[in-house]
Amino acid sequence: MKQFDIPSFYRSDFIGPIKNFRRKEDPRKKDFAPTIVDFGGIEIVLARHFGFCYGVENAIEIAYKALEENPDKRIFMLSQMIHNPVVNQDLQDRGMGFILDTEGNQLTSWDEVTSEDLVIIPAFGTTLEIEQSLAEKGIETESYNTTCPFVEKVWKMAGKLGKDDYTIIIHGKFKHEETRATFSHSTAESPSVVIKDIDEARIIGNIILGKRPLTDFELHFKGRYSSHFDPSKHLSKLGVINQTTMLASETHEISEYFQSVMIEAHGEGNIKEHFADTRDTLCYATNDNQQSTYELLKLDADLALVVGGYNSSNTSHLADLCESRFKTYFVNGAKELESANAIHHFDYHNKEHISTQGYLPMKDKLRVVVTSGASCPDSVVEAVIDRLLSFYPNIKSKQVALQGAGITE
């Protein structure tokens, strides 16, 4: 796989050797078992795969390259580069501006952006409408377009489905930047609707089977379907694509459900005429991180720390998985571990920051699961681990602990 040139301060002298060792030992990525590093009074259980993915490293390389190659130009990010506060803040500190926030709200007026400026499209991609607006301003974006190739793969699948006259079901979070971009590209190809989960899939399925009235479509999906979408016509041929960071298990469940609905409605012999077997359109990193988290769930541990940006969809899904097994704390950095007694963390379900007292059990040997989202630098994860280790006296050094775990360069 391509090696990217990203700033060294995003890398980790502790995590890097672990990842390199596991990569050499398991080049085909068949082993998703975690790495356990024993520091004496505390064990750190690290997921097999976590942290920067291909698309994120590609985006970071391009963004810093743009800054280096254009010292005399104003440079804007269309929106957040990735969903990580450390990366976005560093780019801002280096003079990069932001046109939109993560919800699509305007931060810099379009009137202020001219053809003399550089505009970088983020890893999530952008809508066709914004692409056209930038083109009309004479702003060239191809040189520094950081759209993830796995997101573009989803768009190509939408094009294939549209060519074969399938209506497109998008499994995603409608307000998420990637889903907004995918919806724009998808609606240019075929009638499209965004659903968030299996419950919403069942609403559409029951409409198809005549168990719910057609008016329920407008009631439940207003603002989330393409113009001129007619549920009386456009629900006879379906294909499913997704936001690349959704839970694979949920997308599979949704796809299998729609397949069963179309068999019930049209017969198994005609299924290929009514349902496209697209598999899921998740990226490899999302799949690897989720599979690695499922392996973590097979172990016993006292708690889990999930590290990443609070608006990161893939990180929130990792937190969801960990919560099914462990007491889990979703943090964006080391500062959230206020002390050995208090932790500041994010309640993703209620979208609020909360503090918890007594989060570290009082025991002779503590085991803590650690993982992170695809947009989180390894250096941030190491800082969280360092902060945790600082609460325990007389522990082994990281070098000695790595040697004890059999990790060699």
Q: What's the residue count for the chain?
A: 409
∠ CA 278-289-50, nearest 5°, is 145
What pLDDT does residue 14 have? 97
Amino acid at 300: D
Q: What is the mean pLDDT of the chain?
A: 94
Nearest in space to 140 (alpha carbons), one of 101, 113, 105, 104: 113
Residue 268, C-beta contacts closer than 8 angstroms, at least 6 positions apart: none
The pLDDT-based confidence of 279 (bands split at 50, 70, 90) is confident
Answer yes or no: same fold for 54-144 and 149-276: no
Residue 27 has pLDDT above 80, yes or no: yes
The pLDDT-based confidence of 409 (bands split at 50, 70, 90) is low
Give me Rg for the CA atoms of the chain. 23
- Residue 87, φ and ψ in degrees, nearest 5: -65, -45
CATH topology of domain 8-53+284-404: Cobalt-precorrin-4 Transmethylase; domain 1 (3.40.1010)
> In the annotation, is 68 catalytic?
no
What pLDDT does residue 72 have? 93
Residue 44 has pLDDT above 80, yes or no: yes
H/E stretch holding 195: strand 192-195
Residue 308 has pLDDT above 80, yes or no: yes
Where are the domains positioned within the chain?
8-53+284-404, 54-144, 149-276
Residue 363 has pLDDT above 80, yes or no: yes
Nearest in space to 374 (alpha carbons), one of 304, 303, 318: 318
d(CA 121, CA 123): 7
CA distances, 82 to each of 1, 52, 73, 149, 312 (Å): 21, 10, 22, 14, 8
pLDDT digits (tens, 9 = 90+) for 284-296: 888 899 999 999 9
- Does the pTM surpass 0.85? The reply is yes
Mean pLDDT is lowest, of 67-81, 187-201, 208-222, for: 67-81
Q: Are 272 and 300 in contact (CB under 8 A)?
A: no
Averaged pLDDT for residues 298-315: 95
d(CA 185, CA 190): 9
CATH topology of domain 54-144: Rossmann fold (3.40.50)
DSSP string of 40-64? SSEEEEE-SS-S--HHHHHHHHHHH
pLDDT digits (tens, 9 = 90+) for 228-258: 999 999 999 999 999 998 988 899 999 999 9
What pLDDT does residue 408 have? 79
- Residue 343, φ and ψ in degrees, nearest 5: -130, 135
DSSP string of 211-239? SS-THHHHHHHTTSB-TT--TTTTTSSEE
Local structure of 354: helix, strand or coil: strand
Tokens coding 216: 């329920």
CA distances, 32 to each of 17, 26, 161, 290, 293 (Å): 17, 9, 33, 10, 8
Local structure of 90: helix, strand or coil: helix
Token look-up 């708690």 returns: 303
The pLDDT-based confidence of 1 (bands split at 50, 70, 90) is low
Q: Of residues 43, 57, 178, 336, which has the active-site annotation?
A: 178
Residue 102 has pLDDT above 90, yes or no: no
* Arch. (CATH architecture) of 149-276: 3-Layer(aba) Sandwich (3.40)
What pLDDT does residue 285 have? 82
Residue 336 has pLDDT above 80, yes or no: yes
What pLDDT does residue 390 have? 96
Extract the runs of DSSP E, i.e. beta strands, from 10-158: 35-38, 42-46, 75-77, 97-98, 118-120
Give the residue, 40 or 409, on which the prediction is more confident.
Answer: 40
